[in-house]
Every structure is written in C-alpha cells, then in structure tokens.
Amino acid sequence: MLQKIEAPEVTDIQLSRVHTRKYLNSLENQIPSNGTVKIEEDTYLSRDTLAAARHAAGAAIKAVDMVMKKQAKNAFCAIRPPGHHAHADKAAGFCFINNVAVAAMHAIAEYRLQRVAIVDFDLHHGDGTEDIFRDDPRVMLLSSFEHPLYPFSGVPFTGSNPNVINSPLKAGDGSNEFRDVVRAQWLPRLASFRPQMIFFAAGFDAHRNDDLGHLNLTEADYEWITKKIMLIANRHSQGRIVSVLEGGYKLTSLAKSAKAHIACLVKASPFI
C-alpha cells in the first residue's frame, strides 16, 4: 500500500544543522520577482525555486519522522530540486539545499542516532554531501559515480572521516562493474558499521538511456541494490530506510527505475 504524504516546509533550525546562515540569507536575497537569476553554472533561481527546495527538504524530514515513529517502515521522497551537490555554503549542480544531509542530521539531532549511512548511486559524485560529512564519522557515505565527470571530485577523498567510501566507475561500465563494487567495497563495510538508519541518495541518471552520462545501469540494477541494502537495514537498522530522489533526466528511464526501486521498498512495508 502506498501512503502519499504532502511535503511540509523545512524549518530554519533544521536547515542550520547543515547550511550556513550567510548562504541561506544570500539565496533569500537573490529571489527574483520574475525570470531567473544565475547562481552557478547550470543552476538558476526563479521566484518559486527556494520554496520548492524548502518543501523538498521538508519531505525528507517528514520521512525520517514517520520512519522513526514507526508510522512507516520506509519512505521514498519524490522531490525536486535534488540536493547532493549543495554544499554548506553554496549551491551547485541544480541543487540548493542538501536534502539527504538535512535529513541525516535531523535523525542524529532529534533521535540521538549515532550511526547513519547514505548510499548514493547517482551518476555524479555527491560532492556537497561529502563536503558536509567529510570529518563526521557518525555518517557513512557510500558513493558510486562516473569518473571523470562533473563535478570532477571524489578521487581522491581528502577528509578525515574513515567512513567515506568512493567507488568511481569509468565510462561504459554497467551492471557487472557496479555490482562488483557494491559487493566488494560497500556491503562488508556497511554491515560492520551497523547503521541505525540508512538513506538512499537515489539518482537514476546512471541508467543506460540517460543522456547526461555514459554508464549502463538498468532497472534491474536499481532493484538489486535496493534489495541488498534492505537486507542490511533489516539486520542492523530495524528496517529504517529513507530514500531521497536525486538525478534522473530521461523521464522514461527515470520512471521505470524509480518504480523498480519503490516496488522493493513497498514489499517491505505497508506504508511509504
């Protein structure tokens, strides 16, 4: 059963755990009355962009609350704009608020969780998320991404957090290479970390039909990784999973991939 929830707006306190006040004020001050304002290469702010971003982050917060209060076993946040390129103090790559980071910090601050994990399988490296948690060992960050490709980061990792695991893939890689990385580099480390909650930064632009990159994943790969992570969540995290939509720019492959991902989550829970 799918339970659809209207996304509330994130609060300033919730945002302040991740983003600087100076940055948030600068976004507010740049909102145009009409048209768009260029914030960064390929990143534009319109009249309603920030309102949409605040509701996107609010959706991730609401998902954490519902899962932690056992009102849902897991949740998928169908949101835009995405978030994993947003840094504490700047927007980038279509991203203004780092939704998954805000949600992870909410879980830590409000529910006293000591270990949370973020699994990011977007086509692009989540440089903003990495920068936010680069020195925070409470957060494990597992990232696969095409390299070299925007934002040309993640190799090498230079922070102090021992729980950041970057797994670059090269152009042309597909199911075999992706699954090998997950089996060898992610699953053992994730199991030993014993996360109390797991987040997906669920970007579906590594699909073979998405035009923004050169990887060759399929819906079957997204189903596979979802099931693998759910096994660990059931063992160590009381099944707690919050999935936050990131990239995906070919609507047909995005829809099919998200459907495969969500179908796995639904089988674990009567709620989403």
Task: Determine, yes or no, domain membership for 7.
Answer: no
pLDDT at residue 2, rounded to an integer:
84
What distance in Å separates the CA atoms of residue 36 and residue 88, rounded to the nearest whole number? Answer: 22
* HSE-CB for 78 with a 13 A CA cutoff: 13
Task: Determine, yes or no, domain membership for 29.
Answer: yes
| CATH code for the domain in which residue 128 is found | 3.40.800.20
Residue range of the domain that includes 132 = 12-268
pLDDT tens digit at each of 272 positions of the chain:
789 999 999 999 999 999 999 999 999 999 999 999 999 989 999 999 999 999 999 999 999 999 999 999 999 999 999 999 999 999 999 999 999 999 999 999 999 999 999 999 999 999 999 999 999 999 999 999 999 999 999 999 999 999 999 999 999 999 999 999 999 999 999 999 999 999 999 999 999 999 999 999 999 999 999 999 999 999 999 999 999 999 999 999 999 999 999 999 999 743 33
pLDDT at residue 1, rounded to an integer:
76
pLDDT at residue 39, rounded to an integer:
95
Task: Determine, yes or no, domain membership for 114.
Answer: yes
Cα separation values, 153 from 118, 159, 250, Å:
17, 12, 24
85 catalytic? Reply is yes
Task: Determine, yes or no, domain membership for 3.
Answer: no
Catalytic residue among 19, 55, 84, 85: 85
Task: Determine, yes or no, domain membership for 208.
Answer: yes
For 14-26, how does the pLDDT look when each residue is reduced to its tens digit (9 = 90+)? 999 999 999 999 9
Say if pTM beats, i.e. exceeds, 0.95. yes
Strands 116-120 and 197-202: parallel
Q: How many domains does the chain have?
A: 1
Task: Determine, yes or no, domain membership for 134.
Answer: yes
Sign of CA dihedral 162, 125, 177, 170: negative
Task: Determine, yes or no, domain membership for 240.
Answer: yes
Nearest 5°: the CA angle 104, 109, 113 is: 70
Nearest 5°: the CA angle 237, 217, 181 is: 55
Task: Determine, yes or no, domain membership for 256.
Answer: yes
Both tokens assigned to 148? 């070299």
